């Protein structure tokens, strides 16, 4: 099984969500199923069917989260060289073709959110930046072509 590298913050968030799903959300759905069951014949009860479907999706989500957490390794900034691009780093790059500058926060797949500038280290850009230093020039193969980047700055929170 492939290990998942997470920041401590994301690991804690996932544990908190899992606890919520396993306790509060399970109880809520159990009540919904009970209420729907009281309304009579469950063979033609849309509320009951919807609650049972939601319960199935909840159990699937719990199982997926437990599986991911079992493969998780927490990586903190103290574990890595501060001059290299790794999970948790903000990397400022310059596109050598257009001159445009962009910043990316390298994250685990579970934390990626392109709108917030957070990219997964499993994405083409994330993979290419991983382990590089300020001043390094890299070529990145993406579906739209090849990006030619130079790393300008690496910072950590």
What's the confidence (pLDDT) of residue 73? 84
Is the distance from CB of 71 to CB of 4 less than 8 angstroms?
yes
The tokens describing 150, both together, are: 């130079």
The tokens describing 46, both together, are: 């849309």
Q: Are strands 101-107 and 89-95 parallel, antiparallel or unpaired?
A: antiparallel
Given a cut of 60, is residue 79 above it in pLDDT?
A: no
Given a cut of 70, is residue 77 above it in pLDDT?
A: no
So where are the chain's domains?
4-74, 79-156
Check if 4-74 and 79-156 are the same fold: no
Q: Are strands 4-6 and 72-74 parallel, antiparallel or unpaired?
A: parallel
Given a cut of 80, is residue 134 above it in pLDDT?
A: yes
Q: How many Å apart are CA 144 and CA 21, to the nearest integer?
A: 39
- Of 108, 112, 106, 144, the closest CA to residue 128 belongs to 106
The tokens describing 109, both together, are: 């797949």
What's the confidence (pLDDT) of residue 114? 87
Write the class of the CATH domain 4-74.
Answer: mainly alpha
Torsion angle in degrees (nearest 10) through CA of 36, 39, 42, 43? -130
Dump pLDDT digits (tens) for 33-48: 998 888 877 777 888 8
Query: Range with the lowest mean pLDDT among 93-97, 121-125, 135-139?
Result: 121-125
Q: How many Å apart are CA 49 and CA 53, to the nearest integer?
A: 6
- Of 123, 147, 125, 148, the closest CA to residue 137 belongs to 148
Mean pLDDT of the chain: 89
Question: What is the CA 43 to chain-centroid distance, rounded?
Answer: 39
Question: What is the CA 154 to chain-centroid distance, rounded?
Answer: 21
Domain 79-156 is found in CATH 3.10.50.30: yes
């Amino acid at each position: 099984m492939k290990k998942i590298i997470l920041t401590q913050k994301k690991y804690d968030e996932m544990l908190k969500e899992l606890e919520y799903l396993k306790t509060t959300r399970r109880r809520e759905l159990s009540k919904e199923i009970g209420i729907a069951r009281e309304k009579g014949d469950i063979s033609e009860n849309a509320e009951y069917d919807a609650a049972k479907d939601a319960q199935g999706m909840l159990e699937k989500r719990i199982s997926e989260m437990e599986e991911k957490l079992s493969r998780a390794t927490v990586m903190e900034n103290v574990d890595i060289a501060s001059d290299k691009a790794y999970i948790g780093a903000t990397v400022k790059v310059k596109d050598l073709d257009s001159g445009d500058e962009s910043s990316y926060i390298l994250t685990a797949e579970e934390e990626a959110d392109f709108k917030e500038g957070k990219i997964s280290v499993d994405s083409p850009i994330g993979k290419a930046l991983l382990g590089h230093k300020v001043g390094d020039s890299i070529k990145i193969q993406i579906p739209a072509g090849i990006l030619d980047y130079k790393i300008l700055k690496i910072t950590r929170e």
